[in-house]
């Protein structure tokens, strides 16, 4: 099941708390007015541990835990059970783990959340990391399938295994939405509001364009976290999403 979202544009924006230590992340999250969703990635989680998820939840935030699990079914299930019991509502898993692992992870996450009295989590499948290029997939992993075809096939595998959404690049969102109507979640990073620095993101889209293309939520990091005025930058991202 995709997460329940209100009509408030703030529900569409997940701010990535990258490059911050735990104290900075908590202070940042409490400072941005109207913020509802944050993303905790590997760097913050490895430093701060599960406690930071609980602390963010105590601050009233909804948490996307982006640890991209990829392991044998029992380990995936155990990790997703724990993540959901912490209150993470979006949790990433690699589609390449295969349908058995995805099914086990999905069932365990739901069970973990229910037992802990936490909201039902949504697992999001990662298909092909955007750092891969077709030629390198072929050369290093002997994968001859084109990236678009592979993204589509892995999203299909995930959906058939009961996974309720995917993380995808802005370039993939329209094609995936055509194959997976709402409420399938499509969470899209690589978003840049007008005038923001593109940085190391090669292919970007504006917030309104990405939502129009079919994204259900957007992940935005540095345009907000590195802004001189993060509150204003968050408001700028929300503005074009107002009905
Ligand atoms: O700062 P920026 O807006 O580029 O941050 C985007 C966030 O989304 C980062 O946490 C990054 O790791 C993540 N991400 C991405 N591209 C992907 C998958 C995840 O930028 N394909």
pLDDT (tens digit, 9 = 90+) per residue, 204-221? 899 999 999 999 999 999
pLDDT above 80 for 243? no
Kindly state the percentage of the chain with pLDDT values over 90.
Answer: 93
For residue 68, indicate whether it is catalytic. Answer: yes
Q: How far is CA 54 from CA 48, 59, 65, 186, 212, in A?
A: 11, 9, 11, 25, 33
φ/ψ (deg, to 5) at 89: -100, -20
Mean pLDDT of 130-158: 95
Distance 219 CA to ligand 1 centre (A): 7
- Decide if 19 is inside a domain: yes
- Decide if 214 is inside a domain: yes
pLDDT above 80 for 40? yes
- Decide if 162 is inside a domain: yes
pLDDT above 90 for 87? yes
Kindly state the percentage of the chain with pLDDT values over 70.
Answer: 100
Domain of residue 194, residue span: 9-241
What is the model's pLDDT at position 159?
A: 98
pLDDT above 80 for 114? yes
- Decide if 204 is inside a domain: yes
- Decide if 1 is inside a domain: no
- Decide if 139 is inside a domain: yes
Q: Is 41 in the pocket of ligand 1 (CB under 6 A)?
A: yes
Report the atom number in ligand 1 closest to the C-alpha of 200. Answer: 4
Residue 124's beta-bridge partner residues? 92
Residue-wise burial string across 81-111, b where 16 or more C-beta atoms lie within 10 A, e elsewhere: bbbbbbbbbbbbbbbbbeeebbbbbbebbbe
- Decide if 2 is inside a domain: no
Mutate which of 92, 219, 234, 236 for ligand 1? The one with the most ligand atoms within 8 Å of its CB, which is: 219
Please state, in angstroms and rounded to a whole number, the distance separating the CA atoms of residues 78 and 86.
Answer: 13
What is the model's pLDDT at position 162?
A: 98
Tell me: cis bond preceding 235? Omega within 30 of 0 counts: no
pTM across the whole model: 0.96
pLDDT above 80 for 41? yes
In the chain the first and final C-alpha atoms are separated, in Å, by 24
Please state, in angstroms and rounded to a whole number, the distance separating the CA atoms of residues 29 and 58.
Answer: 11
Distance 115 CA to ligand 1 centre (A): 31
**Total domains, the chain:** 1
Q: Which two tokens stand for residue 200?
A: 């190391």
CATH code, 107:
3.20.20.70
- Decide if 187 is inside a domain: yes
pLDDT above 90 for 230? yes
Query: Whole-number mean pLDDT of the chain?
Result: 96
């Amino acid at each position: 099941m995709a997460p329940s979202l209100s009509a408030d544009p703030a529900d569409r924006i997940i701010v990535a708390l990258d490059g911050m230590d735990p104290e900075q992340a908590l202070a940042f999250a409490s400072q941005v007015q109207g913020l509802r969703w944050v993303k905790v990635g590997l760097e913050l989680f490895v430093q701060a541990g599960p406690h930071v998820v609980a602390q963010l939840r105590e601050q009233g935030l909804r948490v996307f835990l982006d640890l991209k699990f990829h392991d044998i079914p029992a380990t995936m299930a155990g990790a997703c059970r724990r993540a959901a019991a912490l209150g993470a509502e979006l949790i990433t898993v690699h589609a390449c783990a295969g349908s058995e692992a995805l099914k086990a992870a999905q069932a365990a996450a739901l069970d973990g959340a229910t037992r802990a009295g936490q909201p039902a989590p949504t697992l999001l499948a990662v298909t092909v990391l955007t750092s891969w290029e077709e030629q390198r997939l072929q050369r290093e992993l002997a994968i001859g399938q084109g990236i678009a075809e592979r993204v589509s096939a892995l999203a299909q595998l995930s959906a058939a295994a009961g996974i309720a959404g995917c993380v995808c690049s802005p370039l993939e969102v329209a094609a995936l939405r055509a194959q997976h109507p709402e409420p399938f979640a499509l969470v899209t990073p690589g978003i840049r509001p007008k005038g923001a620095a593109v940085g190391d993101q090669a292919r970007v889209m504006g917030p309104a364009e990405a939502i129009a293309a079919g994204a259900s939520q957007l992940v935005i990091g540095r345009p907000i976290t590195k802004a001189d005025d993060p509150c204003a930058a968050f408001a700028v991202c929300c503005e074009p999403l107002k009905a």
